[in-house]
């Protein structure tokens, strides 16, 4: 019976997402093409006011270089402002010295500032003991909106470049940023926050409460504007929790329904961007192909993780763990009883496939193979839905590689969307494809071969410790934020080296993607012929899926063999 309820939940989730892909994708296409929408009556005056205050000319378009510079500078300014807030929070409102007992060192503040400005939201701190309400709202929550909108803007500029011909511009970064905020993230966050408050997520600025337990002990119960941060951390594919326990905390995620709604908030925009892409390039079937390839890998992740977690540990095979019709059984270590294996698996697969580390269970406590699936999801490149914008252009870049390989096999110049994939485009593709392994693997090697890196393994060593380190750098490069709690990442070594991975994952992927877009925008569309490879067919979908697996395996299989695979061979599931 537990398997039936889990399967029903997974199926319902996919049905809702699939049903909303087309309407939401069409809405975003209208927003970024500056066509009329139902929210214009409210949003247009706000947009005009923002342009008037910031002296932005909405009709001026930018080259790819200008767009990239604005994107980088916007992230830099956001990082500096957030760093200043974090370093001075003890002088700002809502600082409770009795409860905010964990100070922010310079390296931790820098790590946190860069983490939130890149949508990584890697947390080497306990939110309730470290961050004030002011830091959470004016700092972290604001960056969740701004960084998420900036990522979505880059994704839209990428799509625009793929759709244009004989053009040297990709749009205006400030216009795309403003429209991402005003038309998409702010309305979505308002609706989502009201739903979460309805489910019991607090939204207040009250002082921390102190209660006396039944045993006579003293318990501090943090309060705060949790719902405001909770919804945008998911909607903006950020993931930083108001509390240290993140989505496992009952104030962040009180019910199975709130968990389901939060997972929908994470996936809806990245999934709908596939439809936006198809509409803007004039090939809707291309967008649907991307969506169904994403769904294929997403379903495989659900099946494998659920199977490995439900099976549990072989050491307990002879023990009856299922004492009731609704008892989950299996591996419940690190999971909340109110969610069980089904909702925990859904959350783990959603968050590891997207740039959102909003967990409700501890990845470190998953079975060896279940944890490896979560790691593999991130190593694929966060293109199974992925982050705002990043998931879509990651899928397109992977598609370009598949097209190039297919072109080599038949002896034709590779083409995609009526454009040639020549030397300039190949340079952007290779920069994009090599960025992850060139960043993740050396950083992992340095960490496992130095005293400073090994000192973070306070609980687990050996293959599991290696997996924890690899997981950390992979998560940071993927701008995800998931972590193995057995790795103590709050040290100068990890605070600084994870920053390298975060920056590489944010800008080392976005800039080549914009370069690829401008290369396509400068070309003229060529009509399809009988020799043109159809990139919206089932055979091409199979080719794309196989290429994704092969590329990840060639880059990371040796590393996986030293971590979860070796641990599985030594110790069992």
Structural domain boundaries of the chain?
388-571
pLDDT of residue 450: 92
Name the nearest CA neighbour of 504 among 482, 484, 474: 474
Residue ranges of the chain with per-residue pLDDT less than 70: 1-2, 312-329, 410-411, 529-532, 572-573
Three-state secondary-structure class, residue 541:
helix
pLDDT of residue 323: 45
Tell me how far apart the alpha carbons of residues 408 and 533 are, in angstroms, rounded to a whole number. Answer: 12
DSSP-assigned letter for residue 450 = S
Tell me how far apart the alpha carbons of residues 430 and 513 are, in angstroms, rounded to a whole number. Answer: 11
pLDDT of residue 572: 62
- Angle in degrees, CA 390, 396, 400, rounded to 5: 140
Q: Which residues share a beta bridge with 219?
A: 211
Instruction: Please report where in the chains the tokens 């991402």 appear, as a residue.
Output: 180
Tell me how far apart the alpha carbons of residues 139 and 136 are, in angstroms, rounded to a whole number. Answer: 6
Name the nearest CA neighbour of 303 among 337, 267, 341: 341
Tell me how far apart the alpha carbons of residues 267 and 187 are, in angstroms, rounded to a whole number. Answer: 16
Name the nearest CA neighbour of 24 among 294, 235, 257, 296: 235
- Counting other chains too, the contacts that 9-17 makes at CB distance below 8 Å and 24 or more residues apart are 9/260, 9/342, 9/343, 9/346, 10/299, 10/302, 10/342, 10/346, 13/260, 13/263, 13/264, 13/346, 14/295, 14/298, 14/299, 16/264, 17/264, 17/267, 17/268, 17/271
Tell me how far apart the alpha carbons of residues 100 and 244 are, in angstroms, rounded to a whole number. Answer: 13
Q: Give the number of other Cβ atoms within 10 Å of residue 3's Cβ.
A: 14
Tell me how far apart the alpha carbons of residues 479 and 468 are, in angstroms, rounded to a whole number. Answer: 16
Q: Which residues share a beta bridge with 210?
A: 220
Instruction: Say what the pTM is.
Output: 0.91
pLDDT tens-place string over residues 507-525: 999 999 999 999 999 988 8
pLDDT of residue 318: 54
pLDDT of residue 9: 92
Tell me how far apart the alpha carbons of residues 394 and 218 are, in angstroms, rounded to a whole number. Answer: 49
Tell me how far apart the alpha carbons of residues 507 and 503 are, in angstroms, rounded to a whole number. Answer: 6
Q: Which two tokens stand for residue 271?
A: 């999934």
- Cβ-contact 242, 127 below 8 angstroms: yes
Q: What are phi and psi of 335, to 5 degrees?
A: -115, 150
Residues 6+ apart with CB under 8 A from 77: none
Tell me how far apart the alpha carbons of residues 293 and 391 are, in angstroms, rounded to a whole number. Answer: 12
Q: Which two tokens stand for residue 568?
A: 């599985």
pLDDT of residue 531: 65
Three-state secondary-structure class, residue 220:
strand
What's the sign of the alpha-carbon dihedral 161, 164, 168, 170? negative
DSSP-assigned letter for residue 487 = B
DSSP-assigned letter for residue 365 = G
pLDDT of residue 319: 55
Residues 6+ apart with CB under 8 A from 30: 36, 37
DSSP 384-419: SS-STTHHHHHHHHHHHHHHHHHHHHHTS--EETTE
Burial of 209 (0-12, 13-18, 19+ CB in 10 A): exposed
pLDDT of residue 358: 83
Quick one: which H or E segment has residue 171?
A: strand 169-171
Three-state secondary-structure class, residue 244:
coil
pLDDT of residue 1: 42
pLDDT of residue 317: 54
Please state at what angle helix 106-117 crosses helix 142-163, rounded to 10 degrees. 40
Q: Give the number of other Cβ atoms within 10 Å of residue 197's Cβ.
A: 16
Name the nearest CA neighbour of 150 among 60, 234, 68: 68
């Amino acid at each position: 019976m537990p398997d039936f309820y889990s399967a029903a939940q997974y199926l319902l989730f996919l049905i809702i997402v699939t049903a909303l892909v087309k309407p939401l994708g069409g809405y975003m296409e209208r927003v970024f093409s500056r066509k009329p929408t139902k929210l214009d009556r409210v949003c247009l005056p706000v947009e005009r006011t923002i342009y008037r205050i910031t002296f932005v000319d909405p009709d001026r378009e930018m080259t790819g270089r200008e767009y990239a510079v604005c994107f980088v500078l916007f992230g830099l300014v956001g990082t500096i402002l957030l760093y200043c807030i974090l370093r001075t929070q003890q002088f700002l409102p809502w600082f409770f010295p009795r409860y905010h007992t964990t100070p922010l060192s310079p390296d931790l503040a820098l790590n946190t500032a860069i983490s939130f400005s890149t949508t990584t939201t890697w947390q080497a701190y306990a939110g309730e003991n470290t961050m004030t309400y002011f830091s959470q709202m004016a700092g972290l929550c604001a960056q969740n909106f701004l960084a998420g909108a900036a990522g979505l803007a880059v994704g839209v500029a990428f799509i625009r470049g793929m759709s244009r011909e004989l053009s040297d511009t990709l749009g205006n970064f400030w216009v795309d940023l403003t429209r991402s905020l005003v038309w998409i993230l702010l309305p979505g966050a308002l609706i989502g926050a009201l739903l979460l408050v309805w489910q019991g997520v607090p939204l207040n600025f009250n002082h921390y409460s102190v209660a006396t337990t039944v045993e006579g002990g003293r318990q501090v119960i943090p309060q705060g504007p949790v719902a405001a941060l909770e919804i945008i951390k998911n909607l903006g594919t950020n993931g930083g929790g108001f509390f240290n326990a993140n989505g496992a905390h009952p104030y962040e995620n009180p019910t199975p329904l709130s968990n389901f709604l939060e997972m929908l908030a994470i996936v809806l925009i990245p999934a709908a961007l596939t439809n936006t892409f198809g509409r803007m390039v004039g090939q809707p079937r291309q967008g649907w192909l991307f969506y169904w390839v994403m769904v294929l890998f997403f379903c495989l992740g659900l099946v494998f993780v659920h199977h490995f977690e439900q099976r549990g540990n072989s050491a307990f095979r002879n023990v009856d763990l299922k004492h009731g019709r609704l008892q989950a059984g299996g591996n419940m270590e690190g999971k909340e009883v109110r969610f069980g294996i089904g909702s925990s698996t859904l959350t783990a697969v959603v968050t590891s496939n997207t740039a959102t580390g909003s967990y409700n269970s501890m990845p470190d406590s998953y079975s060896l193979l279940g944890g490896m699936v979560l790691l593999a999801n991130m190593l694929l490149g966060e293109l199974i839905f992925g982050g705002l914008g990043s998931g879509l252009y990651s899928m397109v870049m992977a598609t370009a590689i598949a097209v190039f390989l297919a072109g080599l096999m038949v002896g034709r110049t590779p083409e995609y969307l009526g454009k040639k994939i020549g030397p300039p485009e190949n340079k952007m593709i290779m920069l994009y494809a090599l960025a992850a392994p060139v960043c993740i693997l050396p950083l992992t090697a340095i960490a496992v071969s130095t005293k400073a890196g090994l000192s973070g393994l306070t609980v687990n060593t050996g293959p599991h410790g290696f997996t924890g380190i690899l997981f950390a750098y992979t998560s940071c490069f993927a701008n995800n934020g998931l972590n193995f709690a057995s790795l103590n990442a709050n040290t100068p070594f990890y605070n600084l080296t994870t920053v390298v991975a975060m920056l590489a994952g944010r800008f080392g992927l976005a800039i080549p993607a914009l370069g690829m877009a401008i290369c396509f925008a400068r070309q003229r569309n060529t009509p399809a012929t009988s020799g043109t490879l159809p990139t919206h067919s089932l055979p091409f979908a199979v080719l794309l899926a196989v290429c994704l697996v092969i590329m990840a395996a060639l880059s990371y299989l040796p590393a996986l063999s030293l971590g979860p695979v070796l641990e599985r061979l030594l110790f069992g599931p």
